[in-house]
Structure 1
């Protein structure tokens, strides 16, 4: 699940960059804003998964797995 969630986050970032770029090219402020929001959402998904992985590694280190 973790890898799948990270890929979703990366996809959101890529789509966001494209949307923002298209918004800049067409002078569409709404698309620019949506693109930035998509990028932020993607970054948060990836960060959340990194935190989960770190917590699992810490738990494993404590329990000796």
Structure 2
């Protein structure tokens, strides 16, 4: 996803500013948490979709606990 820590930091700051519409220095911890969650979801969704397609193709069963 990111080559190194500095690349991630730049992408994170840019995403916070774009989504929140304010400079990073004025953003809150809640803003950071929300953006980080979106970035993680984007990263894992590719693998999640592939896994679910494989499960369906092989007709494997899944169990969900609530």
TM value normalised by structure 2: 0.40
**Which fold has the larger relative contact order, with Cα–Cα distance below 8 Å and residues 6 or more apart in sequence?**
1
TM normalised by structure 1 equals 0.40
